[in-house]
Amino acid sequence: MDELREVTGTDLDDLTAFLTGADLTLSGLDAPEVALWIARDADGRIYASTGFEAGGDGRDVLLRSVAVRPDARRSGLGGRLAEYAVRRAAERGAERAWLFSRRSGPFWRKLGFAPADREEMARVLASTHQVRLFARTGQLAEEVAWSRRLG
């Protein structure tokens, strides 16, 4: 996706605002194990984001921050963003992608993801910011896990 570029420190405030509007997790956005990409419109506003957070051994990744501004939805962009993050994770050696989604199951199914065991996900991705946050706040018990083999 030509319009995507890797997030730098100067993007973090804008990305935080964008992800807050999308009701997505903000924990660890600036951590080195979190890889994020954004697309900006002609006015410099973020209209799309995607990324992943690698687990301890790098074989498992947590997809996160896959979001599209409302006026850019229904164009297939969300699927392309997710596939971009999956491809980049596989290039870095990941074998399985995981994610949390309570609202978008049909979207993730179309991309080859299947419901997964939340406890297994929490175990293999215990070092990630999002899993630690969800475990600490009790949100983990409310989440729906999804996963897909890569490659």
Alpha helices in the chain (DSSP H): 12-21, 77-91, 105-110, 118-124, 129-137
What pTM was computed for the model?
A: 0.92
Question: Which H helix or E strand runs over 39?
Answer: strand 34-40
Q: Which residues pair with 149 in a beta bridge?
A: 96
Band of pLDDT at residue 47, cut at 50, 70 and 90? very high
pLDDT tens-digit profile of 59-96? 999 999 999 998 878 888 999 999 999 999 999 999 99
Instruction: Report yes or no: 130 and 27 within 8 Å, Cβ to Cβ.
Output: yes
28 has pLDDT over 80? yes
Count of CB atoms situated within 10 Å of the CB of 51: 26
pLDDT of the residue at 11: 96
DSSP-derived pairing of the beta strands 96-100 and 5-6: unpaired
Q: Which residues of 62-91 are buried (b: 16+ CB within 10 A; e: fewer)?
A: bbbbbbbbeeeeeeebbeebbebbbebbbe
pLDDT of the residue at 75: 82
d(CA 30, CA 137): 21
pLDDT of the residue at 73: 81
Q: Which residues pair with 108 in a beta bridge?
A: none
pLDDT of the residue at 14: 97
pLDDT of the residue at 1: 60
Q: Mean pLDDT, to the nearest integer, of 4-20?
A: 96
pLDDT of the residue at 19: 96
pLDDT tens-digit profile of 84-133? 999 999 999 999 999 999 888 899 999 999 999 999 999 999 999 999 99
